[in-house]
Structure 1
Amino acid sequence: MTTARAVVLTNFTNPPELASFDVPPPTPGGLTVACRYAGICGTDLHPASGHLDVPTPLVLGHEGLGTVHALGTGTDRDANGDALAVGDTVMWASSIACHACHACHACHVLREPTLCANRRTYGVNRPVTEESPLRGSWGDFISLEPGTTVIRLPAGIDPVAAMSFACAGPTMVHALGGRRPVRLGETVVVQGSGPVGLAAAALAQLAGARVIGRLRPPTRETGEARGQPGSRRPAPGRSTTAAGRRPDSGSPPPRRAPPSRWAAHSSAGGAPRKP
């Protein structure tokens, strides 16, 4: 049987350690993935610091990209309906809502499946005592169970670029596509330039919005600093209002669709919930 190394959080007083596990065959409807890349997110640091009440020991890591190692019986398509085969490059969503009660207020009313009381999250609440201990991306392999949203990556996609979107991307797709879609011509303010902030700026721009973003220190703005066309930075010594005109210009702002009255925060306190 194939063995895998994995980074395991055994308790909240000692650092994570390297352990070895047998790689079980995939369950029907599931698949086994050989992990090539794994992200390090603030969510990974909280359990390791004892800030989250999670079961231990567990394999850490909820962001990942890898190649299909084995397919379970009945697993032949990804979430888009594209064919899956051994060797394909895939990514997956970290969480699985139960979708079993059919009356969940979080899922059906709030459209917040992350609030599902029975949600299972890879690398967060999946201890090694489960049928497969490999339920986190910080290992050579991960066992993905039925119900996991798996996406096959098209050929030519840079895996490092894809990984930069692994967690921040779904977070902002949920925020700007599901919770409050961005409309053409709106103004979106992005505060902070972490992965979530950069994902917010990119998705808002793709939706046709005018993006105002700011890096730290506050004298630089995300758009121009990152080379994003359509973002704006005031000239030295001048400031620009959210409406798009300089306070001292005396001229009205250009006509455009009414700006949206929200800001997408990439700071820990203001980030939208992860999908």
Structure 2
Amino acid sequence: MTQQPSTRSTIDVRYARWSGPGQPFALVPATTPRMPHPGEVLVRVDLATVCGSDLHTVAGHRPAPRPGVLGHEQVGTVVAVGEGAPPCQDGTEITPGMRVVWSVTASCGKCHRCRRGLTQKCERLRKYGHEPLDERAPLTGGFATHCVLLPGTTVVAVPPALPDAVACPASCATATVAAVIAAAGPLDGRRVLVTGAGMLGLTAIAMAATAGARVTAVDPDPGRRAQAARFGAHDVAGTGEVHGEVDAALELSGHPEAVRTCLGSLAIGGRAVLAGSVSPGAPVPLDPERLVRGLGSVAGVHNYAPADLQRAVDFLTAHHHSYPFAELVEGAYPLTELDAAVAAARSAVAPRQAVVPHAS
């Protein structure tokens, strides 16, 4: 559906410019066309959350273009729809006023990887919150008042009953976990190990428990272990305390010791799914004989497929009253206090801090 342009051809926007580790965010005013280009969607960002990847980037532990506009977990409201824009993932037409979340990635749909179904690894991938700043088109991240969704972006409508704070992490954490659960295979009646009880780990515990698994959660932090029990873990353990074998091991912390724990805990026919190792770390030894004789398998998950984002929103919609997802997001920082939001995210009990881009 093509929207008719207003008599005013642009709207005023703001974005937080990140220039590199050790540099404060700078709030930059700009304008953007009121009517997006063909295939694009203009969205007002209602709420964004500071993801662990954002913390790694700001600290210099993760390579990233600079300057740039960070942020890739957000929920927003559609402002305008460019001619020929595709529908939501479930086929629903995108219309102004619709609450939506969108994928971390935008894919071309034509390259060899996209044709194989690996759109999350498109050869011409664009990634929200990870692109170099183009001052002519800067709205590429969640730490801004608006974002322009490019062709090849998965968009999922957010039901009215799902709060912004719960829906926000769907774009990264929840959808990534949905991909991990899919890679693990059927979990009903299975023994599942989850290493790491941060945002991804807690979500994985809830999804696996809901799928009928008996879940053991591992985290060195007692507070996180207590949270894991509230999200459906049947057993909790500290690092190095895991005993017994599991049918599926889901690694969501990125720590080498946790990877070793997952690989060493697999029962016959077990499967390890690794998703936490997104930054450089120490190599982990692999015993090929044990893997071969045990009929084991190891899978890696990075980014996610379009269907995973739909599954993420569907899961949160169905189960956010059963598990305390709303407690995992705290704060309400305006863009002018983004540095404070990042600082709080490093030490807060809640794994996510919220940014409200339109707050003054």
- Regarding TM over 0.5, the answer is yes
CA contact (8 A) 1:26 1:72 kept: yes
The secondary structure found in structure 2 opposite 1:59 is coil
2:277 is the counterpart of 1:268: no
CA contact (8 A) 1:2 1:23 kept: yes
Task: Say what the alpha-carbon RMSD is for the aligned residues.
Answer: 2.8
CA contact (8 A) 1:44 1:124 kept: no
For 1:182 and 1:95, the matched residues in 2 are separated by 27
Structure 2 residue aligned with 1:254 = none
> Which residue of 96, 101, 115 corresponds with 1:91?
101
Deviation at 1:193, TM superposition (A): 1.2
For 2:121 and 2:181, the matched residues in 1 are separated by 18
- Percent identity at matched positions? 30
Structure 1 residue aligned with 2:328 = none
Structure label with greater radius of gyration: 1
Deviation at 1:74, TM superposition (A): 2.3
> Which residue of 154, 164, 171 corresponds with 1:149?
154
Residue identity opposite 1:231 in structure 2: H
For 2:83 and 2:206, the matched residues in 1 are separated by 38
Deviation at 1:146, TM superposition (A): 1.0
Change (3 A) 1:70 1:219: closer
Change (3 A) 1:176 1:42: same
2:47 is the counterpart of 1:37: yes
2:82 is the counterpart of 1:82: no
- Deviation string 1:179-221 (CA, Å, 9 cap, x unpaired) is 2323311111112210110111111122221111234435984
Q: TM-score, normalised by structure 2?
A: 0.62
CA contact (8 A) 1:30 1:72 kept: yes
Change (3 A) 1:164 1:120: closer
For 1:35 and 1:194, the matched residues in 2 are separated by 24
2:206 is the counterpart of 1:202: yes
For 1:240 and 1:120, the matched residues in 2 are separated by 40
Q: Any residues of structure 2 matched to 1:167-178 within 5 Å, and which?
A: 167-177=172-182
Deviation at 1:140, TM superposition (A): 0.6
The secondary structure found in structure 1 opposite 2:88 is coil
Change (3 A) 1:30 1:224: closer
Normalized per residue, which structure has more strand? Answer: 2
- Deviation string 1:19-67 (CA, Å, 9 cap, x unpaired) is 1110223111111100011111122233333444433322111111010
Deviation at 1:149, TM superposition (A): 0.3
The gaps in structure 1 that reach 5 residues or longer are: 244-258
Q: How many equivalent residue pairs? A: 248
2:78 is the counterpart of 1:68: yes
Deviation at 1:114, TM superposition (A): 4.2
Moved more, 157-166 or 213-222: 213-222
For 1:153 and 1:64, the matched residues in 2 are separated by 12
Moved more, 216-225 or 120-129: 216-225
> Which residue of 126, 130, 145 corresponds with 1:140?
145
The gaps in structure 2 that reach 5 residues or longer are: 1-9, 256-273, 277-300, 305-360
Structure 2 residue aligned with 1:18 = 27
Deviation at 1:18, TM superposition (A): 0.9
The secondary structure found in structure 2 opposite 1:45 is helix
Residue identity opposite 1:128 in structure 2: D
CA contact (8 A) 2:202 2:228 kept: no
Residue identity opposite 1:14 in structure 2: Q
Residue identity opposite 2:91 in structure 1: G
Moved more, 80-89 or 135-144: 80-89
Change (3 A) 1:54 1:155: same
> Which residue of 126, 129, 141 corresponds with 1:120?
126
- Deviation string 1:126-147 (CA, Å, 9 cap, x unpaired) is 4224x52111110111111111
Normalized per residue, which structure has more helix? Answer: 2
CA contact (8 A) 2:69 2:131 kept: no
Deviation at 1:233, TM superposition (A): 5.7
Q: TM-score, normalised by structure 1?
A: 0.79
Change (3 A) 1:220 1:116: closer
Residue identity opposite 1:56 in structure 2: R
For 2:224 and 2:57, the matched residues in 1 are separated by 33
For 2:50 and 2:127, the matched residues in 1 are separated by 15
